[in-house]
Chains A and B, each alone.
Chain A
Amino acid sequence: MEYGQLKERERSGRVPSGCGVSGIMNRTGKVFSGDGILASICSMTERGNGLGSGYAGYGIYPEYADNWCFHIMYDERKARELVEEYIESRFEVVNEEPIPTRKVDALKYVPLLFRYFLNVKNGFAPESAAEEDYVIKTAMDINRNFKGACVFSSGKNMGIFKGVGNPGEIGEFYRIEDYKGYIWTAHNRFPTNTVGWWGGAHPFGILDWSVVHNGEISSYGINRRYLENAGYYCTFFTDTEVITYLFDLLGRKHKLDFELIGKILAAPFWSEIEREKDERNREFLKTLRIIYSSALINGPFAIIVANSTAMVGLNDRIKLRPLVAAEKGEFIYLASEESAIRLICENPDNVWMPDAGQPVIAKLKG
Chain B
Amino acid sequence: MARAKSACEFVAERDESRCVKCQACVRVCANDVHSYDGDTGALFSDYSKCAGCHFCEDICPTGALTIRRNLSDTRENANWTKDYIYKIIRQSENGGVLLTGMGNDRPYRNYFEHIVLNASQVTNPSIDPLREPMELKTFIGRKPDRIEFSGAGKSGGHVLKQKIPPQIELESPIMFSAMSFGSISLNACKSLAKAACDFGVCWNTGEGGLHSELYPYSDRVIVQIASGRFGVNPDYLQRAAALEIKVGQGAKPGIGGHLPGEKVSEEISITRMIPAGTDALSPAPHHDIYSIEDLRQLIFALKEATGYVKPVGVKIAAVHNVAPIASGIVRAGADFITVDGIRGGTGAAPAAIRDNVGIPIELAVAAVDQRLREEGIRNQASLIAAGGFRTSADIVKAIALGADAVYIGTSALISLGCHVCQKCYTGKCNWGIATQDPYLTRRLNPEIGARRAYNLLRAWSLEIKEMLGGMGINAVESLRGNREQLRGVGLSELELKILGIKHAGESW
Contacts and interface: CB of A to CB of B under 8 A. Distances in A.
Interface of A: 13-18, 192, 215-216, 218-222, 225-226, 228-231, 237, 254, 256-257, 259-260, 267, 269-271, 278, 280-281, 283-284, 287-288, 290-294, 296-300, 317-318, 320
Contact of B147 (A231, A254, A259, A318): A254
28 contacts: A215-B124, A216-B472, A218-B471, A218-B473, A221-B481, A222-B478, A222-B481, A225-B373, A225-B482, A228-B374, A229-B376, A229-B378, A231-B376, A257-B152, A267-B475, A269-B133, A278-B157, A281-B158, A284-B160, A290-B167, A291-B379, A292-B147, A293-B475, A293-B477, A294-B477, A299-B473, A317-B474, A320-B125
B478 A218 contact: yes
B144 interface: yes
B475 A290 contact: no
Contacts of A192: 123
Contact of A219 (B143, B154, B379, B473): B473
A228 B373 contact: yes
The interface centre, meaning the residue of B124, B373, B379, B485 with most chain A CB atoms within 10 A of its CB, is: B124
B393 to A, nearest CB: 18
A291 B474 contact: no
A230 B507 contact: no
Interface in B129-161: 132-133, 135, 137, 139, 143-147, 149, 152, 154, 157-160
A299 B139 contact: no
B473 A16 contact: no
Interface of B: 120, 123-125, 127, 132-133, 135, 137, 139, 143-147, 149, 152, 154, 157-160, 163-164, 167, 373-374, 376, 378-379, 400, 471-475, 477-485, 507-508
Contact of B472 (A230, A269, A292, A299): A299
A14 B125 contact: no
Contact of A298 (B160, B374, B472): B472
A254 B135 contact: no
Contact of A290 (B120, B139, B374): B139
A215 to B, nearest CB: 8
Nearest to B471: A218
A221 B482 contact: yes
B374 to A, nearest CB: 8
A288 B158 CA distance: 11
B472 A218 contact: yes
A235 to B, nearest CB: 15
A195 B118 CA distance: 25
Nearest to B373: A229
A298 B147 contact: no
Contacts of B159: 280, 284
A259 B154 contact: yes
Given A222-B480, A225-B373, A290-B143, A283 B160 contact: yes
Contact of A284 (B139, B149, B167, B472): B149
Given A221-B484, A222-B478, A229-B378, A284 B144 contact: no
Contacts of A256: 147
Contacts of A231: 376
Contacts of A290: 139, 143, 164, 167
Contact of A291 (B164, B479, B482): B164
Contact of B133 (A215, A271, A278): A271
The interface centre, meaning the residue of A216, A237, A269, A299 with most chain B CB atoms within 10 A of its CB, is: A299
Contacts of B154: 259
B484 A220 contact: yes
B449 to A, nearest CB: 29
A219 B482 contact: yes
Nearest to B164: A287
B157 A281 contact: yes
Contacts of A17: 123
A48 to B, nearest CB: 15
A225 B400 CA distance: 12
3 closest Cβ contacts across the A-B interface? Answer: A221-B484, A14-B508, A219-B478
A257 B154 CA distance: 11
Contact of B123 (A16, A270, A317, A318): A16
A287 B483 contact: no
A267 B475 CA distance: 10
A298 B474 contact: yes
A222 B404 CA distance: 12
B484 A18 contact: no
Given A257-B152, A296-B477, A318-B474, 7 more contacts: A218-B478, A221-B484, A229-B373, A270-B135, A284-B158, A293-B477, A299-B124
Contacts of A216: 123-124, 472
B508 A298 contact: no
B135 A220 contact: no
B479 to A, nearest CB: 7
Contacts of B139: 290, 293
Contacts of A260: 152, 158
A215 B181 CA distance: 52
Contacts of B507: 13-14
A343 B418 CA distance: 69
Contacts of A259: 154
A221 B483 contact: yes
B146 A16 contact: no
Nearest to A318: B132
Contacts of A13: 507-508
A259 B155 CA distance: 13
B132 A287 contact: no
Nearest to B138: A293
Given A269-B133, A298-B472, A298-B475, A218 B124 contact: yes
A27 to B, nearest CB: 18
A300 B139 CA distance: 25
Contact of A280 (B120, B157, B164, B480): B157
A220 B475 CA distance: 13
Given A18-B123, A218-B120, A296 B478 contact: yes
Contacts of B123: 16-18, 192, 216
A228 B483 CA distance: 14
Nearest to B149: A284
Contacts of A220: 482, 484, 508
B267 to A, nearest CB: 39
A150 to B, nearest CB: 19
A78 B485 CA distance: 39
Contacts of B124: 16, 215-216, 218, 299-300
B401 to A, nearest CB: 11
A287 B378 contact: no
A127 to B, nearest CB: 22
Contacts of A225: 373, 481-483
A287 B147 contact: yes
Contacts of B379: 229, 291, 294
A97 B423 CA distance: 80
Contacts of A318: 127, 132-133, 474
B143 to A, nearest CB: 5
Contacts of B482: 218-222, 225
B121 to A, nearest CB: 10
Contacts of A297: 478
Nearest to B171: A270
Contacts of B400: 221
Contacts of A291: 143-144, 146-147, 164, 379
Given A229-B376, A281-B158, A290-B164, A270 B137 contact: yes
A238 B117 CA distance: 21
A216 B132 CA distance: 19
B157 A284 contact: yes
Contact of A288 (B135, B147, B472): B147
Contacts of B147: 254, 256, 287-288, 291-292
